Amino acid sequence: MPSLNPQKKNVILLMIDTLMDVSIQAALEEEKIPALKFFMENGQYYPDLVCPFPTMSVNVDSSLLTGVYCDKHKVPGLVWFNKKENRIINYGSSGTELFKLGIKQSLTDVFYNLNHEHLSKQHQTIHETLKDKGIQTASINALLYRGSKPDQLKIPFLLSFITGLNKEMKTYIPDLFSYGLFHTLNPLKKNTYISKKHGFNDRFSVDELNYLLSQDKLPPFTITYLPDFDQRVHKNGRTDSKGIQKVDKQLQRILNQYESWEEIFEKNIWIILGDNGQAGIEKNRKKALIHLPKLLNSYQIAKLRKGVTSEDDIVLGVNERMSYIYSLNSQKVRLEDIAKIFQQDNRIDVIALKKGKVITVLSGIHEGHLYFHSQGDFSDDYGQSWFIEGNYDILDIEVNNKKISYKNYPDALARLHAAFHSHDGDYVVVSAKPGYEFKAEGSPTHVGGASHGGLHKQDSLVSMIISGTNSAPNHLRTIDLKAWFELLVQ
């Protein structure tokens, strides 16, 4: 088999938060994204890469780095209940929630535990795998970055003073590493944008990448994360063209490092990738928000500031358009009873619970049940085997001669299965129809804008552009990219 990368080009992955086809097409119509258009015209464009579920960045990025779903990498979502420690983990859904949970503990979860305690050590990251093969890597502004090199994050003085965090925090990083103000690559440049979100912004990310390019320090594999577009889509909706134009201007700054844009392909392979999509949210607040405390008012719900107590019945892990609902006493609080409550709300299209190895899926829209588990003689487009019976309409599945095809819920069985094996506990998983999102104490809302977390294809499909190589991954899923990256750089 010929080499996938005969010229040994470097691989540069530009991760653009919430990059979706609907946004790209809206901006292309206005002819105001020349950089993205250039990459698309000089490469392969895929509008339907399937990201993991829950469709939240920390879960997606964990899968990108490890090549597995959350049943193996063990980061279940942005918000989840840690049964062993009897507390809610929150990596940053909102400042209100973080302060109520305890800001020092919450930021320790974000800056240390996410990479070094919660992300499973049973599965190496792309940085660790390539390091073992003697191949250098870089990570710029990615929240998930775990590498093999011991180092320190330098906590900004004001943040350390306010929160009580130590001024330095032990970490393990790739060979070249940038993490906002906490760890920078360029020792000289005083960036006027560095203070915006402590350096976690598109301009600073591009400055750091351009530093590596200009100094000829680029390693064989680099991940650069551009976070800004996500908040624009949250506020303005899925077709926010001005937001993607701003992203494009940053891409132009990269291209303008070269005498001509065509030169960028001589030494580098460029992969531009979204993490998760977003679904539109209704403008009517009462209609748009599925208020979990109201639906579950017959139960004692754990309060954020008090923590989980012996008096509580359930814990809520709200991930925007998806939620985990945990029973703290399975004899007193039956998952089946919780599921029945959700079936009365037609804004909730997927309701799932697990008993033994069998996962039962219900709906607020469709009648009946769908049962499945991972040992059976049905197979899907990804070569995965399943047992499945019941009402296929619940997950919009087609079955012909025991061959499963997915429509509105891509790779639905594997992604739901992963969520139920991602962490300990007794819980129901719910996902909302496009147009709606879940609301609980302190959780952010995006009425009239867009949101993610759900199982639906609007949350789950992202765009990918590959330029500088004719190669492509075997399947169009985030979890299939790591193995492909390894082939590209070897």
Q: Are residues 239 and 388 in the same domain?
A: no
Paired tokens of 486: 């390894």
d(CA 127, CA 374): 30
Residue 83 lies in a domain: no
Tell whether 35 and 136 lie within a shared domain: yes
pLDDT above 70: residue 344: yes
* 277 DSSP 8-state letter: -
Helix (H, G, I), strand (E, B) or coil at 414: helix
**Has residue 189 been placed in a domain?**
yes
On whether residue 231 sits in a domain, the answer given is: yes
For the segment 45-62, what is each residue's pLDDT rounded down to a tens digit? 999 999 999 999 999 999
Provide the b/e sequence for 33-44 (b: ≥16 CB within 10 Å): bebbebbbeebe
Q: Which two tokens stand for residue 215?
A: 């100094």
Residues linked to residue 406 through DSSP beta bridges, in sequence order: 397
CA distance 418 to 434: 22
**How does 218-239 read in b/e, with b if 16+ C-beta sit within 10 Å?**
bbbbbbbbbbbbbbbbbebbbb
Residue 245 CB coordination number (10 Å): 15
Same domain, 306 and 430: yes
- Give the Cβ contact number of residue 285 at 10 Å: 12
Q: pLDDT tens digits for 379-408?
A: 999 999 999 999 999 999 999 999 999 999
Tell me if 104 is assigned to some domain: no
335 pLDDT more than 60:
yes
Full-prediction pTM beyond 0.85?
yes
User: What does residue 28 show for φ and ψ, rounded to 5 degrees?
Assistant: -65, -35
Same domain, 49 and 156: yes
End-to-end Cα, the chain, rounded Å: 13
Instruction: Tell whether 199 and 256 lie within a shared domain.
Output: yes
Is the pLDDT reported for residue 2 higher than 80? no
Q: What is the DSSP letter of 115?
A: I
Q: Over 90: is that where the pLDDT of 13 sits?
A: yes
Give one word for 453, left, alpha or beta, with left for phi > 0 and alpha for psi -120 to 50.
Answer: left
Domain that includes residue 351, residue range: 285-448
Q: Which of 103, 43, 39 is nearest to 304 (CA)?
A: 103
